[in-house]
Each structure stands twice: as structure tokens, then as C-alpha cells.
Structure 1
Amino acid sequence: MTFNHATEANADAIMDVELAPIQIGSKQDDPFLVVFTAPFDPDNPKDWRSSRKWAVTDVLSATGFNRIMVSTIMAPALSTIAKEFDMNSAESAMALSIYLLATAFGPLVIGPLSEVYGRKPILHASNIWFLIWNIACGFAPNKGVLIASRFFAGFGASAVYALANGVLGDVWRPEQRGRSLGVYLLIPLLGAAVGPIIGGFMAERATWRWMFWSTSIFQAVMVMVSFFSFWETHEPLILRKRAEQIRKETGDSRYYTADERIHANKSAIGILGRALIRPVRLLAFHPIIQIASLISAFYYGILYIVLSTFSDLWTHQYHESIEISGLHYIAAALGEIIGSQICAKLMDSLYHRLKARANGEHSPELRTPSIFPGALLGPLGLLIYGWAATYRLHWIVVDIGVFITMLGMQITSMPLQAYVMEAYPQHTSSAGGATQFLRSLTAFLFPLFAPRMYQVLGYGWGNTTIGLIGLVFGLPAPLVIWYYGAKLRAKAYSSY
């Protein structure tokens, strides 16, 4: 491969995509422009000491673990809940998946809000919102209240998807992208797989309501921790406060930030309205977002097919108890965790090598080659899992297949996340919200047809079909980004 296409017109691409038509000079051109001082500024999140960077990263990570775990924790207890509330199969499936539907719409609102009001207040507000509605799920007197509460809880939980891109982009430089993503994802990746394990034991040994009460207790602790361990990371907001302080101290109103100049002639309502429609605009008019969203959405949907049907495989085909069936999710969790750590090292290593070969020029497209190993491993794991289940081979073979599937999908998704973050550094939360929309929709929709697919095709042909679609779709799409990403970014409308 050559690298001229990845760096060609890179500077123009960044200017066209990331800056509004208003041109902002440098500090040397305008002494009244308020910026972070170089080479080091203690207020610049990228210059913070490592302990503070890891603190905000770990707060998001732990919060993400709980919110993602709640998405799957009730899966083993669906039959029990359905019996208690007299729910048909569609209603019980909706009680589980409505949470994921809410996470499709939440980031479209929460991401832009964090770019207007800052990451910190949005994190605190979403934490409390999620806590209230998760508690409501535990006390739900009927199926209507349960389904509605699950939706509102999912809406609050979805903040982590928008905030993660924003905060990680705020505090970590591109050279640290792989490591920071790997550490951040380490705990949340456990959530989706650990949820059914915990839920399985609670379903057998206690009331299903403890699934929500216990996670609410954990969430209440995280609310308190976040108030003392999370600092504002959004650069425009930090600089705006600095400019306000300078204007107050000097009495000179000429001091301004680049963000203030861009929005100088807009009302507060106009700024908010423009921000709220940004994720929709990115998804509708930016091919980069469309391609990245489609790739990640497909693999995310497969993830939730596995998570939603894995327990049924063990209880119905292998005749294991609910408790034991939940333990097989350990294979899925290990695959994702190990995949994230392998990909973290692969991403950083490849990035440094490709950047050196591109004459030290940074380009988001340098993340693309890291996608391809996962695009091959994911379908391979699906084949092993599907045909081992069809012929009822030893359980370890099935678990190995699921392990490889999850490992491959994680290696695919991390570079895509990094690519979107670096392609839209000014609006990482909005870009993250745009990509999360399709991801959450597939997570909601794919499990709805998965039981029928396996019933008609069986696990072998069902997984073979999905795997082949993954190969046909998952390999060419990253090549489009690799060869044409810079040009597509250069032609894109401003993200402002």
C-alpha cells in the first residue's frame, strides 16, 4: 500500500470539514485571541497530568460498564418477567430491546448538548436521569411501566456513547489513541457479557427486581464518584471561561475565543438548534460518517444477536440450567477484552509506522489498516460457533467460536471509533452520536429476527449467512475509507 492518498490534501480537508466559513487568525496575528499557550498549558486537557486524564477516563469507563450491563442483565429472566406480567413473546422481547432503541436517539441529543454546555454537566445530569428510571424498572407494577422505564433509562444510559468520543478526544492525543481506548473499553466491554451472567444467577436465586436494584446501587455510587473525580474537558468551554476572566480582569471586551467568534452573530437558541441537528446533518450528508456507521452497525448488530440468543442455545440445545448457560458469556467477554488490548497495541504501533512513512503527517485514514484483521476473524468465529452448535460438539468448541467472533469484532470497531474521533476533532460527540444511531438500531432490530433465522436455517447456515455478509460488506468498505477518505472529508460540508 502507498500512503500519499491518505495524506493528500489533508490540511485542506481539515480546514474544510472542521472550520466554519469564518476564518480565525492565530495568536500572533491577533493578540486578543484567547488560546492555550504552547508548548504546555495546565488548563489544556491534553496537557493535564496523567493521573487526571486517567481519572476522567476511568469515571466514564465505570459508568459505561453499568449502563451497558443493564442493557443485557434481564435477558435470562425474560420468561419469568413475562409470566408475572402476562406478556407475550413480542412484549417480553420489547422489554429487553427497547433500552437499545433509546440508545439510538439519546446520543443525537446528548452529544450536541455536551458541545454547547460542556461534558461535565451533561454527564452528571445523565447519571441522575439513568438512576431514577433504572430504579423505576425495579419497582414496575406492570409491563407498561417496565417497558416505558426501560426506554427512559436507556435514553439516559446512552450519554456514555456520545461522551466517550468527546472526552477521550479532548484529553488524549492521536499517538495515545489505542492505549486510551483500550483502557477505557476494558471495563464497559465486560458489561454486555457480565449482565446475563449476573442476571442468570439472580433469576434463579432472587427476584428479578434485584437486577435493577443492585445496578441502581452501583449507579448511585458512581454519581457520587463522578462529582469529585470528573473535570470539564471540553476545550471551547474552558477557553471561554478563560476569556471571560480576562475580560473581567482587564475591562477589555476585545478578548475572544475562536468558538465565540464563530458563533458571534448567533443567538443562544440558534446555537443550540444548530448543535442539535448536527448529528443528523453528519449522518445525512457526510459519506465518512455513513460508511463508518454502516460498518460498525453491522458488527454491533451481530454482537447483540450473539448476546440475545446465546443463553437459549445452551438451555434448549445443550439442556443446561439458566445459571450455567450464563457462564458461557465469559467466552464473549474474554474475546472482547483480549481483542481490545490486542487492537490497542496494533493501532498505536501501526499508526506510528504509517505516520513515519507519511513524512510525519497525521491523517485519520492511518487508522484504517487496523480494521482488516478483525474483518477476517469475525466471520471465521461465526462459522466455528454456528457449525459446532449445529453438530452439538463439545461446549468448548462453541465457546472458542464465540471468543474468536468477539475478538474480531472488537479489533474492527476500535479503529473505526478512532477514525471518527480524529476526522471530526471539533465535534467528536456529535459524530459519535451520529454513528451510534445506526449501531443502536441494529442492536435493537437484529435480535428480533435472530430466533426465527436460527429456527429456519439452524445455527450453522444462519451464522454462515451472517459471516458471508460480513466478508462481502466488511472488507470493501474500509478500503473506500483508505483510498478516498481524505478526498471525501475535503468535499464535506462544515460540521459547524
Structure 2
Amino acid sequence: MNTDSIKAQSAKGKVEGPNGTDGASLEQSADLFLVTFDCPKDPDNPKDWSLARKWMVTSVLSATGFNRIMVSTIMAPALPAIAAELHISNEFESVMAMSVYLLATAFGPLVFGPLSEIYGRAPLLHATNLWFLIWNAACGFAHQKSLLITARLLAGLGAGAVYVLASGVLGDVWYPEQRGRSLGMYLLIPLLGVAVGPIIGGFIVAGTTWRWIFWSTSIFQAIMTLASVPIFQETYAPLILFRKARRLRTQSGDHRYHTTNEKLVEGRSAFWVLRWSLSRPIRLLLFHHIIQIQACLSGLSYGILYLVLSSYSDLWTSTYHESVSTSGLHYISVCVGEVIGAQIGGFLMDHIFARLKARANGITKPEHHVPVMIPASLVTLLGLLLYGWGAQRRRSWLMVDFGVAIFTCGQQITGQALQAYVIDATPEYASSASASSQLFRSLCAFGFPLFAPAMHSALGYGWANTVLGLVVLTSTIPATIAILLYGDKLRVKGEGRL
């Protein structure tokens, strides 16, 4: 019998939880057959994998996220061509064709996040990859606006899975002390998609039909899907432990071997487990104050970002009179700002986390990730002011692009800190918690671009961006202070909702 994975703890001692951390105390009779990871190192524990193995699974999600984000923005330069060919008569319908993808990413994670906490990360990744591939390719064959919008909606349902899987996998394989670095490196490739999408879209429209926007990204998706099957390994610790326990029961003939999670749902039907899991993101959003704060801040940040993205190309074509392909090059500033923000934010988060941990005598808290959000909100405001007033007064493109880079840098640092906080605040259910915030993020990303033309027409770029920047500042700083002062109490209060 393989007894390396069995730990007998005293009746009052702590046992290792599903993610390799200390769990609740169990009775001695139960501990004798509790299957956990070996301490201090267990090759089956994703957190104890080699760095190469960790980066392999992280890189698969990173490449997948790149394509999903690129597809969300690649349509921007092609909207006039699509509108002309498919007889889209007004600007609202044109923006809807692009934004409906983001609307779908609001609801797909509500299902995929909890399912990944039942069936594992790998099956959900492969299934949603295939789903996204089919419907994204279908967009290229659309000859009616209704078909394009429908296929775009269905593609977005599959695309949204990567957002919650990423939070779950990063929480599965990386320790809190590595959270900033791992998030920064994971985001390095996906963030390129924000800029690469409009650039590629502009050149595709200039050189061939807009349909190749979808066909080319589908070919890329097919290659990634095939490559991910042998590379991506299961990372969800409760599922890995369940498989160990099942193997031990089979090998020994003793059915008393169990995991912590199996004990928690003992006597419950499969339907009850599924229903309870699928309702978790909504429960968290309705009753968990930490998730509510994070969802609102993330939604605001994401909405403003996509408001800028949706109108940025139009600024250069209508105000600066540049060509469609040239206007797409300005999205490089968006990419540069976010990449720099991801790396600076990751370094600062880990540095501050280590110092606060040392000050607390080795005690780690998820709240140690968030102090960086206060200076980041000031950076975001500065960027919006430079971009808005530079565009309003038609200053050099350098000032405008520099402002956008500063803006996205600040936003990225804030978003990264919030994501790290939620991963560590809900370690076993990070995917469900991420799905809760993704609902707000995607709804805001869908809705904000719809009022961008009216807002810029009424206020101009200068005052519109000033208002947006002040909203960011007056929401982020008080929320950060509240998290630092009351976060631990709010987390304890919200544990009953998991």
C-alpha cells in the first residue's frame, strides 16, 4: 500500500487542507485515513512542483488569454467595413457587434468557475477552447448582422473561461509570496493582445477582407488547443487528492480513506453538490463584502479601459485624420503601459508583501497585497488627464499616447493587486470568486463603450477623462483603506458563503 500520502494527526492538531495549507482540526479516527499532501515537499502538490512545470501550465493559460483578449479588441478597426458589408445602419449596432463578446464573458465564468472546482481545471480548459474555436470561426462566415452578433456572443461564452481558470491555476501552483511575480509574468503575453488586436485588425482590413480577422485567430486557437492537451496538467489540489484517495481505496480495499472535501459533502447527492457549487459565485457576490468591493473596483477599471479602447481608433481617424491601419499603431501605448504596470506592480506587490510579513512576525495576510493600489490610482488619474486634455487641444500624438500608457500602467497595478487579494482571500474557490468579479467587469466593459460617443460629444475628451479619473481616485483610495482596516474581519464573516 502507498502510505506516503497518509498523515495521522492528533485529535487537537491541525491537518493539511485541500491546497496544502493548514486546515481545520479533525477527530483522530478520521485523521488516520485522511489523504493529504506530504510535508514539506510533495511532488503531487502543485505548489511544490518544479518551476519549469509551474511555468508550463501558466504559459498555456497565458497564451490562451492572449488570443481571447486579442479577439475582444481586433474588431475595432474593422467596424466600418463590417457595418458596410452587413448593412449595419447605426453606430449602436456596430459597437454592439464588438461589445457583445464582452457581455458573454460576464456569464460564462459563472458556470465554468464552479465547474472547475468540481471536475478540475484541465477538462474545462480543453472543452472551452474547442467551443471558442468553433464559434469564433463561425463569425468569419457571417453574412447577416444577426448571425455575426450571435456567433460573437457564443464565442464570448467560451472565451470567458480563461479569466476564472487563470485565477484558479495561479492560486493552485504559486505561493502567496510569489503572487506578484507569477501574475506579472502570466499577464505579460495576454496584455499584448490589447494592442496587437487592433493593429492586426487594421492591417487585415487594409489588405484583405475583415473575415480573416476571425479565421486567422481561429487558426491560432486550433494550434494552441492541440498543444495544450499534452502540456497542461491538472492543478486543482482537491481533485488530485480525491484521485489519490480513490486509488488507495482500490489498492487497499479499505474504503475509509478520504479527503477533506469528501468529508464535507458526505451524505450529499451529486445534484446537491452541483447546485451548491454553481450558486457559489452569486452567493459570494451578494453576501461576501470583500468580493463586492473587488467586483465594483474591477468593473469600474475594466469599463473605463474598454471605453478608451473602443474610441481610441476613432480619435485618430476623425480628429487627427490618420488612416485606419496607422490609427491601430497607437494601441501600442496601451500595451506598453499595461506590460510595464504588470512588471512594476508584481515587483512592488512581492516587496511590500515580504516587508509586511516580516513586520507581522511571519504572519501572511491577503491584505498585504493591496497598499500599492493607492499610488496606482494617482497614476491612473494623471494618465487620464494627460490623454484627455492632450486630445482635447489636439496636442502631439506623443502626449496623448504617453497619457494612455500612464493610465493603463496605473490601472494594471490596481487590477493586479485586486486579483492577488481575491486569490489569497479565497484560495480553494478562487475561480468562483473570480467569476463573481468577472460578471461586473464584463458588464462594465460591455456597457461603458456604448455611451462613449455621447460622453465625448457632450464633455469633450478633457472633461470626460477628468471626471473618469476623479471617479477612479475617489473610489479606489477609500476602498483600499477599508480593506486594510477591516479586510480580515470581512473575510472571516464571508467564509460561511463559500
TM-score of Structure 1 vs Structure 2, range by shorter chain: over 0.9
| Whole-Å separation in 1 of the counterparts to 2:345 and 2:133 | 33
Deviations 1:46-79 (A, max 9, x none): 0111111000000000000001100010111111
Q: Relative to structure 1, is the Cα distance of residues 397 and 422 closer, same or farther in structure 2, using a 3 angstrom cutoff?
A: same
Map of 2:77 onto structure 1: 76
| Whole-Å separation in 2 of the counterparts to 1:447 and 1:495 | 33
| Whole-Å separation in 1 of the counterparts to 2:331 and 2:303 | 17
Map of 2:294 onto structure 1: 292
Amino acid at match of 2:396: H
| Whole-Å separation in 2 of the counterparts to 1:329 and 1:313 | 12
Kindly state the Cα deviation for residue 23 of structure 1 after the two structures are TM-superposed. Answer: 5.8
Match of 2:398 among 391, 396, 399: 396
Map of 2:107 onto structure 1: 105
Contact preservation (8 Å) 2:342, 2:416: yes
Map of 2:8 onto structure 1: none
RMSD: 1.4
Map of 1:7 onto structure 2: none
Map of 2:214 onto structure 1: 212
Report % sequence identity.
59
Map 1:273-352 → 2, pairs under 5 A? 273-352=275-354
Kindly state the Cα deviation for residue 249 of structure 1 after the two structures are TM-superposed. Answer: 0.5
Match of 2:377 among 357, 375, 378: 375
Map of 2:13 onto structure 1: none
What is the SS of the residue equivalent to 2:31? Answer: coil
TM-score w.r.t. length of structure 2? 0.94
Match of 1:366 among 358, 365, 368: 368
Match of 1:141 among 120, 140, 143: 143
Contact preservation (8 Å) 2:280, 2:432: yes
| Whole-Å separation in 2 of the counterparts to 1:466 and 1:384 | 13
Map of 1:450 onto structure 2: 452
What is the SS of the residue equivalent to 2:496? Answer: coil
Contact preservation (8 Å) 1:193, 1:307: no
Q: Relative to structure 1, is the Cα distance of residues 295 and 396 closer, same or farther in structure 2, using a 3 angstrom cutoff?
A: same
| Whole-Å separation in 1 of the counterparts to 2:227 and 2:424 | 29
TM-score w.r.t. length of structure 1? 0.94
Map of 2:240 onto structure 1: 238
Amino acid at match of 1:61: S
| Whole-Å separation in 2 of the counterparts to 1:70 and 1:168 | 23
Match of 1:191 among 187, 190, 193: 193
Q: Relative to structure 1, is the Cα distance of residues 49 and 200 closer, same or farther in structure 2, using a 3 angstrom cutoff?
A: same
Map of 2:55 onto structure 1: 54
Contact preservation (8 Å) 1:27, 1:33: no
Deviations 1:309-336 (A, max 9, x none): 0001000000000011000000110000
Kindly state the Cα deviation for residue 93 of structure 1 after the two structures are TM-superposed. Answer: 1.1
Contact preservation (8 Å) 2:287, 2:497: no
Kindly state the Cα deviation for residue 433 of structure 1 after the two structures are TM-superposed. Answer: 0.4
> Please, which moves more after superposition, 271-280 or 365-374?
365-374
> Please, which moves more after superposition, 364-373 or 408-417?
364-373
| Whole-Å separation in 1 of the counterparts to 2:26 and 2:228 | 37
Amino acid at match of 2:63: A
Deviations 1:409-446 (A, max 9, x none): 00111010000000001100000100111011110000
| Whole-Å separation in 1 of the counterparts to 2:238 and 2:139 | 38
| Whole-Å separation in 2 of the counterparts to 1:54 and 1:124 | 18
Amino acid at match of 2:55: W
Map of 2:129 onto structure 1: 127
Kindly state the Cα deviation for residue 260 of structure 1 after the two structures are TM-superposed. Answer: 0.4
> Please, which moves more after superposition, 29-38 or 399-408?
29-38
Contact preservation (8 Å) 1:112, 1:276: yes
Amino acid at match of 1:82: A
Q: Relative to structure 1, is the Cα distance of residues 27 and 36 closer, same or farther in structure 2, using a 3 angstrom cutoff?
A: farther
Q: Relative to structure 1, is the Cα distance of residues 421 and 383 closer, same or farther in structure 2, using a 3 angstrom cutoff?
A: same
Map 1:164-203 → 2, pairs under 5 A? 164-203=166-205
Kindly state the Cα deviation for residue 27 of structure 1 after the two structures are TM-superposed. Answer: 7.9
Kindly state the Cα deviation for residue 493 of structure 1 after the two structures are TM-superposed. Answer: 4.5
Contact preservation (8 Å) 1:373, 1:412: no
Kindly state the Cα deviation for residue 194 of structure 1 after the two structures are TM-superposed. Answer: 1.3
What is the SS of the residue equivalent to 2:370? Answer: helix
Map of 2:471 onto structure 1: 469
Map of 2:6 onto structure 1: none
Query: Structure 1: where are the runs of 5+ without partners?
Result: 1-14
Map of 2:46 onto structure 1: 45
| Whole-Å separation in 2 of the counterparts to 1:112 and 1:420 | 15
Aligned structure 1 segments of 4 or more residues deviating by more than 3 angstroms: 26-29
Map of 2:32 onto structure 1: 31
| Whole-Å separation in 2 of the counterparts to 1:483 and 1:26 | 35
Kindly state the Cα deviation for residue 495 of structure 1 after the two structures are TM-superposed. Answer: 3.7
Contact preservation (8 Å) 1:427, 1:495: no
Contact preservation (8 Å) 1:382, 1:402: yes
| Whole-Å separation in 2 of the counterparts to 1:26 and 1:83 | 70
| Whole-Å separation in 1 of the counterparts to 2:348 and 2:375 | 10
Contact preservation (8 Å) 2:191, 2:338: yes
| Whole-Å separation in 2 of the counterparts to 1:323 and 1:304 | 20
| Whole-Å separation in 2 of the counterparts to 1:93 and 1:343 | 32
| Whole-Å separation in 2 of the counterparts to 1:332 and 1:39 | 43
Contact preservation (8 Å) 2:385, 2:465: yes
Map of 1:419 onto structure 2: 421
| Whole-Å separation in 2 of the counterparts to 1:488 and 1:495 | 12
| Whole-Å separation in 2 of the counterparts to 1:490 and 1:67 | 35
Amino acid at match of 2:126: H
| Whole-Å separation in 2 of the counterparts to 1:226 and 1:74 | 26
What is the SS of the residue equivalent to 1:475? Answer: helix
